[in-house]
Amino acid sequence: MSSAGGCCRPGEHPHGGGRVCVPCRRRAVVEAVLAVDRSLPVDQIAAAVDAVADHPARLRNLAAAVAADPDAVTVGAPPIVGLLVVELIARGATGLTSPTCIGCGVIGRPLTPTEAGGLCGPCAHRHHTEPCTYCGLDKPVAGRTGDAAPICERCRRHTRGRRQCGICGQTASIAVRSHDGSPQVCVNCYQRPQAVCSSCGRRRPCSFADTDTPLCPTCTPRTCAVCAHCGQSRPPTARWPEGPVCDPCYNAALQRRGPCTDCGATRRLVAPPGPAAVFCADCAGIPDPMTGHACGDCGREDKLYEQRRCARCALRRRAAHTLAGDGGQIPDRYAAVFEAIAAARNPRTALNWLRDGAAAVVLAEVTTGRLPVSHDALDAHPHRRAADYLRRVLIAGGVLPERDEPLARTQQWVTDQLATLADPADRRLVQAYATWRVLRQLRQQAAARPRPRTYTRHAHVRIAAAIAFLAWLRSRGITLGQVGQGDLDLWLTTGDPAAPDVRDFLGWAADHRHARRLTVPPRGRHDGPATSPDQRWALLARLLHDDTLELTDRVAGALLLCYGQQLSRITTITRDQVTRHDDGSVHLRLGRDEITVPEPLAGLLTDLLTQGRDYVGVGTPSPTPWLFPGLLPGRPLTAARLGQRLRALGVYAQAGRRATLTQLAATLPAAVLADLLQIAPTTAVHWVHQAGGDWTRYAAELTRERVHQP
């Protein structure tokens, strides 16, 4: 080759310091292609090289790439070689394949050559890692400090712009700066602006909300890949040596721990990949793709959330940060609340509640002193549902005194209803009736029979009937003192089905000489339909033997169909009412006496005692006294919610209870039925009479039968 940069002679090789001419570079590239694929003639390959390397610098880069890596044409990397491969395939090359990323499997992106093969830009970024100077984990570099030390993306976001949030008062990364008098908002309090999603058409928090194409998080497109574990096409959460891994398989792999078949140590099992893994990474002789997933506090190998902590340790830290006072310590009055939150059955759910829950925002207002710790302050809070949930958390933790919440709600409802009455005379009548009749009876009932909740629906119905009746009289120009029996009969016959509920109001008005004594006929009693015996036994068999049903529904439905218990009583059963004796028998106390529970219901009751409900509210104290705890901390499941769950299984409470009590009343005396099931003696007698257990119907039928022969 000429030292002046001329064309190299045939058979000569470049010398150090010389320059290679353009024909030689083109010839080198053509020869590299022919070494891999000879399906195209030389002139077609040369034309493809000229089409791609249309500038001397591009040809120089192309020649250098194929000279540095003999497999560059096969891999399709770096990008200039990938363009050449695509051009050759377009011209008819059959021995080449389109450049494909070995990490995510995407086709068509520029690839970077690595020792493992060609990687697209995102995969190459994840492939080249360094230990983060903050968390110490070996992660892709997202930035560097002033000393050029590497920082991962999570630590970069965590350390960027940490200031005091104007919403929660905590020091965190700021998502929105303050402007025009609005406070700065941290990443935990920030919510996307509301807009109508251009994809689903629903009004939801959206990205690009100020453009013509807002997108909610659900509709935001995500790149999918075939999961190496389950084979489903899903957005990958991680990319391990075996390939992309979806989120369910990723979480399952992080939690897949057991004794290693080789060394016997309880470790995370990684080989072979998937649910059948039996070897730890050390025994399998492969690098653990989840290296670094050991909690910095407890050492547990699990999915990490913040500052190298597992979900449980991260929850304790975040809960302590939320409840801490000025000195950084949790006040003694909030100690029970902290332990209840930290002991949540599902720590990930509790973490989400502390981050996104509206009640957690109200809790931050309370702990920072911006909201007084009182029932009145929570009643006046604009976010009523969040404040009510926090009220239950604080009551369960002993911060607030217990309060009869349904009774307090009824008092507030009465105040709201009085505000809608325009006539002062009607307002005074309704206020006196509600205060001295309805609410007084509710307080007496609550004091005489303490229960988890006071049922106030009938009180609402009576007060609403009184308001409606007074409005009807006002529209006809009649005062309450002028009402006669004819006016009342007209109201009863032309009014809605709730018209007879005015009976209690008229009785009170007559007692206090606001009206004449009038007669309102009592409502007729309708027993209603009952579940057929065959259907009842079929439902009961499914509840007792179908393991796919939730344990709570199985036990509650069986108590309904076996013992005819009302839903309001089933939900308030405590754990103390279920006892296990030394002989292995299980007893349930519904009334004064215990009932021996047969199998398999006894086993289900024992499992429910041991395992508890899968879903309870964050902040629920442990252990809870209730057999069926609800989502509100310290409260049992509501009868309405339990009825919805049972109806989804085909079990209807009233019809099923009628069928059960009818069957029990036909076999047991009324006194025994009342003692065992805690029902009133008159009610037990009624059911025995309905079932024909007292033979009175049979005697009456014999008397009416004219042709009866003894």
Q: What is the mean pLDDT of residues 597-615?
A: 86
Q: Which of 281-285, 571-575, 580-584, 606-610 has the lowest mean pLDDT?
A: 281-285
CA atoms of 100 and 110, how far apart (whole Å): 9
Q: Tokens 């209803």 map to which residue?
A: 417
**487 token code pair:** 């006016």
What are the start-end ranges of the H helices in 76-202? 79-90, 121-127, 153-159
Mean per-residue pLDDT, 587-603: 85
CATH classification of the domain holding 584: 1.10.443.10
207 strand-pairing partners: 215
Backbone angles phi, psi at 538, to 5 degrees: -65, -45
Q: What does the pLDDT look like over 360-402, one tens digit per residue?
A: 888 888 888 888 888 888 888 888 888 888 888 898 888 888 8
Residue 613 domain-assigned (yes or no): yes
User: Nearest CA to 501 among 468, 456, 455?
Assistant: 468
Task: Encode pLDDT of 401-420 as tens digits.
Answer: 888 888 888 888 899 899 98
Q: Tell me, yes or no, whether 501 and 540 share the same domain.
A: no
How far is it, in rounded angstroms, from Cα 95 to Cα 89?
9
pLDDT of residue 5: 38
CA distance 378 to 661: 44
Mean pLDDT within 678-687 = 71
Q: Dihedral of the CA atoms 226, 228, 231, 235 (nearest 10)? A: -40
DSSP 286: S
Residues 643 and 550 grouped into a single domain: yes
Q: Does residue 410 share a domain with residue 468?
A: yes
Give the list of residues 6+ apart from residue 580 with CB closer than 8 angstroms, or none. 586, 587, 606
Q: How confident is the model at residue 6 (pLDDT cuts 50, 70, 90)?
A: very low
DSSP symbol at 14: P
Same domain, 548 and 498: no
CB-count exposure of residue 441 (10 Å: 0-12, 13-18, 19+):
middle
Burial of 410 (0-12, 13-18, 19+ CB in 10 A): buried
- Is 82 part of a structural domain of the chain? yes
3-state secondary structure at position 176: strand
Q: What is the rounded CA–CA span in Å between residue 363 and residue 361?
A: 5
| Other beta carbons less than 10 A from residue 77's beta carbon | 27
pLDDT band at 665 (very low <50, low <70, confident <90, very high): confident
Same domain, 494 and 556: no
Which pLDDT value is given to residue 555? 92
Count of domains observed in the chain: 4
Where is the domain boundary, 284, 303, 334?
284
- Quick one: 507 and 545 in the same domain? no
**Same domain assignment for residues 68 and 101:** yes
DSSP secondary structure string, 491-546? HHHHS-TTGGGGHHHHHHHHHTTSS-----PPPPP-------HHHHHHHHHHHHH-
The structure's pTM equals 0.64
Residue 654 maps to a domain: yes
Query: Do both 499 and 541 map to the same domain?
Result: no
Average pLDDT for 140-147: 84
pLDDT band at 196 (very low <50, low <70, confident <90, very high): very high
**Cα-based distances in Å from 691 to 530, 563, 660, 670, 679:** 12, 15, 11, 11, 16
Q: Cα(187)–Cα(200) distance, rounded to whole angstroms?
A: 26
Residue 599 sits in the same domain as residue 494: no
CA angle 386, 388, 389 (to 5 degrees): 65
Identify whether the C-beta of residue 554 lies closer than 8 Å to the C-beta of residue 562. no
Q: How many alpha carbons lie under 13 Å from residue 108 in its C-beta half-sphere?
A: 0
With contact defined as beta carbons under 8 Å apart, do 301 and 268 qualify?
Answer: yes
pLDDT digits (tens, 9 = 90+) for 305-351: 777 788 889 899 888 888 887 667 888 888 888 898 988 888 888 88
| d(C-alpha 338, C-alpha 618), whole Å | 11
Considering the chain, what percentage of its residues have pLDDT values greater than 70? 90
The pLDDT-based confidence of 15 (bands split at 50, 70, 90) is very low
Q: Which residues pair with 219 in a beta bridge?
A: none
pLDDT > 50? residue 4: no
Q: What is the mean pLDDT of residues 238-262?
A: 82
Domain-located, residue 137: no
Q: Distance between CA 99 and CA 523 in Å, rounded?
A: 81
Domain that holds residue 445: 405-511
Residue 312 CA to residue 297 CA, distance in Å, equals: 10
- Residue indicated by tokens 């919805």: 644
- Choosing from 109, 126, 143, the residue where a domain stops is 126
Q: Which two tokens stand for residue 158?
A: 């965590």
| 543 and 463 within one domain | no
Would residue 272 count as lying in a domain?
yes
482 and 594 part of one domain:
no
Arithmetic mean of pLDDT over the chain: 82
Which of 213, 242, 209 minimizes the C-alpha distance to 225? Answer: 242
**Is the pLDDT at 709 greater than 80, yes or no?**
no
The residue-averaged pLDDT of 202-216 equals 90
Which ranges in 326-456 belong to alpha helices (H)? 335-342, 347-356, 358-367, 375-379, 384-396, 405-419, 424-433, 439-448
Residues 480, 594, single domain; the answer is no
Residue 461 pLDDT more than 70? yes
So what's the pLDDT on residue 428?
92
Q: 16 lies in a domain?
A: no
Q: Which residues contact 600 (CB under 8 A, 6 or more apart)?
A: 544, 545
Q: Which pLDDT band, with edges at 50, 70 and 90, does 107 fall under?
A: confident
Closest residue by Cα to residue 300 from 254, 239, 369: 254
The whole-angstrom separation of Cα 668 and Cα 145 is 82
Residue 353 inside a domain? The answer is no
Comparing 45-54, 127-136, 465-474, the range with the smallest average pLDDT is 127-136
By mean pLDDT, which of 313-327, 424-438, 553-567 is the weakest? 313-327
Given a cut of 50, is residue 2 above it in pLDDT? no
- Confidence band for 195, pLDDT divided at 50, 70 and 90: very high
Most confident of 35-39, 136-140, 280-284: 35-39
Backbone angles phi, psi at 452, to 5 degrees: -60, -30
Q: How far apart are CA 122 and CA 109, in angstroms?
A: 10
Q: Which pair of tokens denotes residue 646? A: 């049972």
Domain-embedded: residue 540: yes
699 has a pLDDT exceeding 50: no
Residue 166 has pLDDT above 60, yes or no: yes
DSSP 3-state assignment of 85?
helix
CB atoms within 10 A of CB 555: 23
The domain boundary residue, chosen from 84, 109, 126:
126
501: pLDDT strictly greater than 80 = yes
Higher pLDDT, 595 or 20: 595
Predicted confidence band of residue 264 (pLDDT cuts 50, 70, 90): confident
| Residue 196: CA count within 13 A, CB half-sphere | 2
